[in-house]
Structure 1
Amino acid sequence: MSWRNIVMAVVGAWFMISAWALNPMHSSAYTTTAIILGLFILAGSLWALRTTEGMIWRYYLLALMGLYMGLTPFFYHFERFVGALWITMLMGVVVLAAGLWQIFAIRHASGQHEQSGHHHVA
């Protein structure tokens, strides 16, 4: 279990809520994206909390979703709504950074595991 997964789960839940709280232009495209992307981030990070073995690909996917989240203000043209712009971009960066950090942590841990002489045969 990693605190980074918990942070990503909270951000995913928040992004779903932002569909109503931070949708200053009342865009149905933003609402749909926030709900679906938030749900995927929430589900992916909760899934990562349950299973700690393998599947590094899910962190690449979560990082990609964080990048997309950070860019949504520009995709849906609400740059002039400064609060929504910065909060959404910041939360996107948090998910992107947490996903990449998890990838680094897993790769670093597996490198140390291999250096210690322990090998796991599947």
Structure 2
Amino acid sequence: MTWRNWTMAVMGAWFALSAWVLNPMHSSPYFWTAIILGGLVLIGSLWELVDNVFRPSVYYLEALFGLYLGLSPFVYSFTRHGWATAITTILGAAIFVGGLWQARTKNSQAERTPDHPNHRVAS
């Protein structure tokens, strides 16, 4: 489960940085959307990495943020910039799918609970 959290954290960090890298039309709404939602995805992923309690609501929020980020090229009308549209849409969709995958994982709680029967302590 942690590799998915790390992947989501990297994608969230990328969106926060993309406000400067992928803002071809210099749109203030896209700038703040990328910073805020990318930062929230990053914070949510890092929070779940250090927290021992499985909270599917955090992942559903990340999925919602990913959906919005993936649709942002169409919302902010910069589809004529093909490379920026492709990267933003693909990574937004990846965050959306990753958030749903994390939230719907059946063994998430069991994988992270130290008193789980399959949990082994290193000697």
Mapped contact 2:54–2:109 kept (Cα < 8 A): no
TM-score, structure 2 length as denominator?
0.84
The Cα RMSD (Å) is 2.0
| Structure 1 residues 47 and 110, CA gap change in structure 2 (3 angstroms) | closer
Q: Where in structure 1 do 4 or more consecutive aligned residues deviate above 6 Å?
A: 110-113
- Uncovered stretches (5+) of structure 1, i.e. residues with no partner: none
Separation in 1, partners of 2:52, 2:89: 28
- Uncovered stretches (5+) of structure 2, i.e. residues with no partner: 117-123
- Letter aligned with residue 62 of structure 2: L
- SS of equivalent residue, structure 1 residue 57: helix
Separation in 2, partners of 1:96, 1:20: 22
Separation in 1, partners of 2:11, 2:40: 11
Deviation at 1:49, TM superposition (A): 0.6
Percent identity for Structure 1 against Structure 2: 53
Summarize deviations over 1:38-66 as a string: whole Å, max 9, x none.
11010011001111323210010011111
| Structure 1 residues 20 and 111, CA gap change in structure 2 (3 angstroms) | closer
- Letter aligned with residue 31 of structure 1: F
Counterparts of 1:30-109 in structure 2, within 5 Å, are 30-105=30-105, 108-109=106-107
Separation in 1, partners of 2:110, 2:9: 28
Mapped contact 2:54–2:108 kept (Cα < 8 A): no
| Structure 1 residues 112 and 41, CA gap change in structure 2 (3 angstroms) | closer
How many residues get paired?
A: 112
Separation in 2, partners of 1:6, 1:58: 15
Separation in 2, partners of 1:82, 1:16: 20
TM-score, structure 1 length as denominator?
0.85
